[in-house]
Amino acid sequence: MGVSFNMTAVSLHRKLQVLIGDRFDYLDEVWILIEVLSDVDSVVLRRCKDCKRGTVQRNAYGLPNRRVENTLTLSISDHTGEAYSEDIMVLLEGRQCPNGSA
């Protein structure tokens, strides 16, 4: 049997859908919301490679390399399924204005 969501969870997913493409300050980096996965109650973020200085990092051998584009998946709902998870609340606090400022 699959995961079932009540109307509140569906509402949370719809509200997040309109934020796709927005930038967020999260974990001391800028991330872009790229997808809302309603079937697994998660959002997918992509590190914004053009948003932050220092896109070159040293690899395990000490040689400079470009940072690898990575993604991060966060659970949308808390354990009750009726409210946002703590991770999503922290993410939403870091939402940047459309002009790119915090």
Read off the pLDDT of residues 55-90 as tens digits, 9 standing for 90 and up.
566 666 777 665 556 899 999 988 887 788 999 999
Domain range for 89 is: 7-93
Please report whether residue 81 resides in a domain: yes
Read off the pLDDT of residues 18-36 as tens digits, 9 standing for 90 and up.
999 999 999 889 999 999 9
Indicate whether this model's pTM tops 0.85.
no
How long a stretch of residues is the chain? Answer: 102
Count: domains in the chain: 1
Residue type, 27: L
Please report whether residue 98 resides in a domain: no
- What backbone phi and psi angles, to 5 degrees, belong to 92? -65, -30
Strand partners, 89: none
- Nearest-angstrom CA–CA distance, 54 and 66: 9
